[in-house]
């Protein structure tokens, strides 16, 4: 067996030894969206540092948890906190938890993130369903030996975000009078926010929002055959006439403010799955 498959088997055995329940839905909560975890009836929460082969946190006091719980009457795996490339993890470390979720039986992955708006009609606090992405500014996490038992060498990426899930969330948003946008997410490495010229370039390339996560996770999830739904909270605007200074605090606050809307959408989506 390859090193990767061995590691995944060890990680799975460790988790399944702690908890017997299974869940077919996985959720990854982005910056400022961690409170959604509080609406989950937690069965077990395992700190990342206890899980074999999970990346070791580079930031003190910033470690997350893998939670198994119940949301809308369904069992879900929740990653409260994710690993970013800009923290110094290599792409294989960033996406390792996605592969773990896959080995645990997750078939549908729901991703959330904070992102900068580059579509000029967007406002801070808007929610944007990601209907496609541009990943070329980050390292593709599938570079290296391909594990055929997980997925094909050259995955098709013509529909990286599941159309049916998008439709379902649009319907839920309509029924609850939540205004929701849709667009293309451009993945960048960070940790710098973009310059004015870079936001303009991303806009010209067809991006509606830009952020530092999600695209590598999506690629790996598609590779192993999961259905993916992803949503961005627009936490700042990249293209503005006036002076434009973006701070991490502003991003976190905007994400927090949008959390009730996002919680409703995700809870209702899980109910409908």
Which positions lie near ligand HPA, rule CB under 6 A? 114-116, 188, 190, 193-194, 210-212, 235-236, 238, 246, 251
Q: Nearer to ligand HPA by C-beta: 236 or 268?
A: 236
If the CB atoms of residues 210 and 265 are measured against ligand HPA, the closer one turns out to be 210
**Which of 26, 116 has the CB closer to ligand HPA?**
116
Sign of CA dihedral 23, 25, 26, 29: negative
What's the closest the beta carbon of residue 190 comes to ligand HPA, in angstroms?
A: 6
Whether cis (ω within 30° of 0) applies to the bond prior to 191 is: yes
| 20/62 with CB nearer ligand HPA | 62
**Cα–Cα distance between 246 and 249 in angstroms, integer?**
9
Q: Which of 194/268 has CB closer to ligand HPA? A: 194
Angle 114-120-124 from CA coordinates, rounded to 5°? 35
Phi/psi for 70 (5° steps) reads: -120, 130
The minimum distance between CB 193 and ligand HPA, in angstroms, equals 5
Smallest gap from residue 168 Cβ to ligand HPA (A): 26
Helix 3-18 vs helix 91-103: crossing angle, to nearest 10: 50
Residue number with CB closer to ligand HPA (188 or 228) = 188
Which of the 8 DSSP states describes residue 119? S
Least distance CB 248 / ligand HPA (angstroms): 9
DSSP-H helix ranges across the chain: 3-18, 91-103, 163-175, 196-204, 215-223, 248-272
Nearer of residues 7 and 253 to ligand HPA, judged by Cβ: 253
Nearest approach, Cβ of residue 236 and ligand HPA (Å): 5
Find, among 171, 134, 140, the residue nearest to 154 by Cα: 140
Min dist. Cβ of residue 160 to ligand HPA (A): 19
Measured CA to CA, the distance from residue 59 to residue 191 in angstroms comes to: 14
Residue 78: which of 51, 55, 46, 52 has the closest Cα? 46
In whole angstroms, how close is the CB of 182 to ligand HPA at the nearest point?
18
Q: Name the residue with the smallest CB distance to ligand HPA.
A: 116
Residue 86 pairs with which residues in a beta bridge? none
């Amino acid at each position: 067996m390859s090193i990767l498959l061995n590691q995944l088997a060890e990680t799975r055995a460790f988790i399944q030894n702690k908890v017997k329940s299974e869940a077919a839905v996985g959720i990854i909560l982005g910056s400022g969206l961690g409170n959604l975890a509080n609406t989950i009836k937690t069965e077990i929460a395992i700190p990342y540092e206890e899980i074999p082969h999970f990346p070791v946190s580079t930031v003190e006091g910033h470690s997350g948890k893998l939670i198994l719980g119940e949301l809308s009457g369904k069992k879900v795996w929740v990653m409260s906190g994710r690993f970013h490339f800009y923290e110094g993890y290599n792409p294989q470390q960033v996406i390792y938890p996605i592969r773990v979720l896959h080995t645990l039986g997750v078939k549908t992955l729901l991703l959330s993130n904070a992102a900068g708006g580059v579509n000029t009609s967007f406002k801070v606090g808007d929610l944007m369903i990601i209907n496609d992405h541009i990943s070329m500014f980050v390292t593709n996490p599938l570079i290296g030996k391909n594990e055929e038992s997980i997925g094909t060498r050259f995955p098709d990426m013509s529909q990286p975000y599941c159309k049916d899930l998008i439709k379902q969330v649009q319907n839920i948003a309509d029924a609850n009078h939540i205004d929701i946008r849709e667009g293309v997410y451009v993945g960048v490495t960070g940790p710098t926010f973009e310059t004015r010229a870079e936001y303009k370039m991303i806009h010209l390339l067809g991006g509606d929002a830009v952020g530092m996560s999600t695209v590598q996770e999506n690629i790996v999830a598609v590779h192993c055959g999961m259905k993916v739904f992803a949503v961005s909270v627009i936490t700042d605007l990249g293209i503005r006439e006036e002076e434009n200074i973006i701070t991490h605090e502003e991003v976190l606050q905007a994400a927090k403010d949008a959390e009730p809307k996002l919680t409703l959408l995700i809870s209702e989506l899980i109910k409908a799955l």
